C-alpha cells in the first residue's frame, strides 16, 4: 500500500459529534507521523419540508417550515497499516456516518 491514500468522508446532522470524530482521526494520523489533509468542510445540505398548519376558521394559509442540515467533512490520510487499524477502533457516535475509500 505504499503511496496510497485513504479518503474518509464523514457526515452527520450533529456538528459537535462530527467535529469530535474528525479531530480524533487527525490526532491519530499526526501522532503516527503520516500525511493528513483536512478536515475539509463540504457544503451543508439543507432538507426543507414546508407543512401546512392546521387551519383555524377561514383565515389565510400558514405554513410551518422544518429544516434538517447535513454537515460533511473530508479527510485524506496516507494509507499506513497501523494508522488504519487505529482508525477502525475509533468510537463513532450513532449519528455520525463514515465512509472509507482507498485512492491509488
The greatest distance separating any two alpha carbons of the chain, rounded to the nearest whole angstrom, comes to 71
Question: What pLDDT does residue 3 have?
Answer: 74
The one-digit pLDDT tens for each residue of the chain (104 residues) are 457 899 999 999 999 999 999 999 999 999 999 999 989 999 999 999 998 887 766 777 788 899 999 999 999 999 888 899 999 999 999 999 999 999 88
Question: What pLDDT does residue 75 have?
Answer: 94
d(CA 95, CA 78): 26
Domain ranges of the chain: 5-43+73-103
Q: How many CB atoms lie within 10 A of CB 36?
A: 18
Which CATH code for domain 5-43+73-103?
3.30.70.600
Q: How many CB atoms lie within 10 A of CB 30?
A: 12
Name the pTM for this structure: 0.81
d(CA 17, CA 57): 44
Of 10, 29, 26, give the one whose Cα is nearest residue 81. 29
Helix ranges (DSSP H) in 1-104: 15-32, 81-88
Question: What pLDDT does residue 63 have?
Answer: 85
Q: Do 99 and 8 contact (CB within 8 A), yes or no?
A: yes
Amino acid at each position: 500500500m505504499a503511496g496510497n491514500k485513504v479518503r474518509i468522508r464523514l457526515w452527520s446532522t450533529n456538528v459537535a459529534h462530527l467535529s469530535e470524530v474528525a479531530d480524533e482521526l487527525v490526532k491519530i494520523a499526526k501522532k503516527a507521523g503520516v500525511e493528513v489533509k483536512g478536515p475539509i468542510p463540504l457544503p451543508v445540505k439543507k432538507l426543507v419540508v414546508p407543512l401546512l398548519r392546521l387551519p383555524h376558521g377561514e383565515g389565510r394559509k400558514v405554513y410551518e417550515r422544518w429544516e434538517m442540515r447535513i454537515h460533511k467533512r473530508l479527510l485524506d490520510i496516507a494509507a499506513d497499516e497501523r494508522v488504519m487499524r487505529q482508525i477502525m477502533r475509533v468510537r463513532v457516535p450513532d449519528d455520525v456516518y463514515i465512509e472509507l475509500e482507498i485512492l491509488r
